């Protein structure tokens, strides 16, 4: 289970895209799978489409962080992302959870394009894209979704002796170009649906009105630790989901310059036969792809096969230079790749501003 607490400072929204963007584990798996399939593969277009949807959702969840950093009492808040908890033999997942000493806020983010027609009376959201204004796409009602998650979280807290912790829930529309309309019950839509730029003001108003009235204070740190300890990440076997065999996956080191397979191994470096680019560490991204597709440990023989290395001693030296944890002491020992994945996908902005607990 990947979990860590970090302090993240977000100075500009544009900076978030380039440096603070964090991909979900599912997006990483889809990215790796698409890179390792030939374009003519029968599942290529489907995976490409699913990856685009996942990227859009992850971008929406990341982009909202800029506005959360503008909260007036952000130093007292812990933000939990992607928590998946068990309640009565079933799991529920929350996009973003803000924990304050006197209340919590649950956010369901939507990064959809076009015109969004909220229709709570019929429990649906109708999306009309600009590419085809005559096509209406029916989606799950996000207001109903976030209200269900709110009720589930309250029951989960009660089951862990945290009754009485008040909260609010909202739907955050993160695409600034989307047009939001209420097809029914506009009062309800206005109460629950908020655009990203207005989120700061909405939460600051709650802070101003709620905190003086609450004598009972909860510990955001304690509740975040409780959530982290009970977080149940979904471990998706991406190859099984798409019914793709291991032998269909392309091997070799991808060139970081032209993205073509496969680079050739030279002493202490890799060389691309296509664009002549050279790299000392191009093999790391290939090992990360392997971890997302096949598992988080690898044997030396698998290293040789995946990286196209003929010399086992050379492969072992390369693995040792990465300081990977060794599992087992026999000839069939394996090496853990988790540290490579965590280093690649950790937030890269520095400075104290917002407390995040990132779960995936």
What is the predicted pLDDT for the residue at 345? 54
Place of tokens 């690898």: 298
Say if residue 125's pLDDT is above 50: yes
Find out whether 193 and 170 touch, Cβ atoms under 8 Å: yes
Q: How far is CA 259 from CA 26, 275, 291, 308, in A?
A: 21, 10, 19, 16
Exposure string for 178-208, b = 16+ CB within 10 A, e = fewer: bebebbeeeeebeebbbbbeebbebbeebbe
Instruction: Tell me how far apart the alpha carbons of residues 15 and 24 are, in angstroms, rounded to a whole number.
Output: 19
pLDDT of residue 70: 80
pLDDT interval class at 248 (50, 70, 90): very high
Distances (CA, A) of 89 to 100, 151, 186: 28, 16, 36
Contacts of residue 174, defined as CB under 8 A and 6 or more positions apart, other chains included, come to 59, 60, 61, 63, 64, 109, 110, 111, 196
Q: What is the largest CA-CA distance in the chain?
A: 70
Determine the Cα–Cα distance for residues 174 and 276; give it in Å rounded to an integer.
41
User: Per mean pLDDT, which of 14-28, 48-62, 274-288 is the most reliable?
Assistant: 274-288
Give the position of tokens 């990947």. Answer: 2
Cα–Cα distance, 137 to 126 (Å, whole number): 5
CA atoms within 13 A on the CB side of 30: 19
Paired strand residues for 9: none
Q: What predicted TM-score, i.e. pTM, was given to this entire model? A: 0.79
Alpha-carbon span 273 to 255, nearest angstrom? 9
Residue 347: is its pLDDT beyond 70?
Answer: no
What is the per-residue pLDDT for 64?
A: 86
What kind and span of H or E run contains 356? strand 354-359
- Which pair of structure tokens corresponds to residue 52? 């685009």
Does residue 84 contact residue 93 with C-beta atoms inside 8 Å? yes
Q: How confident is the model at residue 328 (pLDDT cuts 50, 70, 90)?
A: confident
Three-class secondary structure of residue 116 per DSSP: strand
- pLDDT score at 7: 35
Residues in the chain, total: 360
Phi and psi at 280, nearest 5°, equal: -90, -20
The two tokens of residue 354 are 């917002």
């Amino acid at each position: 289970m990947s979990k860590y607490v970090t302090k993240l400072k977000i100075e500009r929204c544009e900076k978030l895209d380039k440096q603070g963007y964090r991909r979900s584990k599912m997006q990483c798996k889809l990215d790796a799978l698409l890179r390792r399939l030939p374009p003519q593969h029968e599942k290529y277009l489907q995976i490409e489409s699913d990856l685009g949807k996942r990227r859009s959702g992850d971008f929406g969840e990341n982009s909202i962080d800029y506005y959360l950093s503008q909260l007036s009492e952000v130093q007292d808040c812990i933000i939990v992302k992607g928590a998946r908890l068990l309640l009565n033999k079933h799991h529920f997942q929350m996009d973003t959870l803000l924990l304050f000493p006197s209340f919590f806020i649950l956010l369901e983010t939507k990064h959809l394009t076009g015109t969004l027609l909220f229709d709570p009376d019929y429990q649906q959201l109708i999306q009309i894209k600009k590419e085809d204004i005559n096509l209406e796409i029916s989606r799950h009602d996000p207001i109903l979704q976030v209200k269900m998650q709110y009720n589930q979280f309250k029951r989960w807290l009660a089951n862990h002796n945290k009754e009485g912790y008040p909260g609010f829930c909202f739907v955050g529309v993160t695409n600034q170009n989307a047009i939001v309309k209420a097809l029914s019950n506009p009062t309800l839509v206005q109460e629950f649906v908020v655009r990203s730029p207005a989120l700061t003001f909405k939460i600051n108003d709650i802070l101003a009105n709620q905190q003086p009235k609450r004598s009972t204070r909860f510990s955001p740190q304690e509740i975040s630790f409780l959530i982290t300890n009970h977080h149940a990440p979904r471990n998706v076997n991406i190859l099984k989901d798409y019914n793709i065999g291991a032998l269909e996956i392309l091997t070799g080191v991808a060139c970081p310059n032209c993205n073509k397979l496969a680079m050739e191994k030279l002493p202490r470096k890799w060389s691309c036969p296509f664009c002549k680019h050279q790299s000392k560490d191009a093999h790391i991204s290939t090992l990360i792809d392997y971890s997302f597709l096949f598992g988080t440990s690898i044997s030396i023989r698998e290293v040789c096969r995946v990286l196209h290395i003929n010399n086992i001693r050379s492969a072992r030296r390369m693995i040792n230079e990465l300081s990977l944890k060794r599992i087992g002491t026999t000839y069939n020992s394996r090496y853990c790749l988790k540290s490579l994945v965590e280093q690649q996908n950790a937030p890269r902005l520095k400075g104290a501003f917002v407390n995040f607990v990132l779960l995936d």
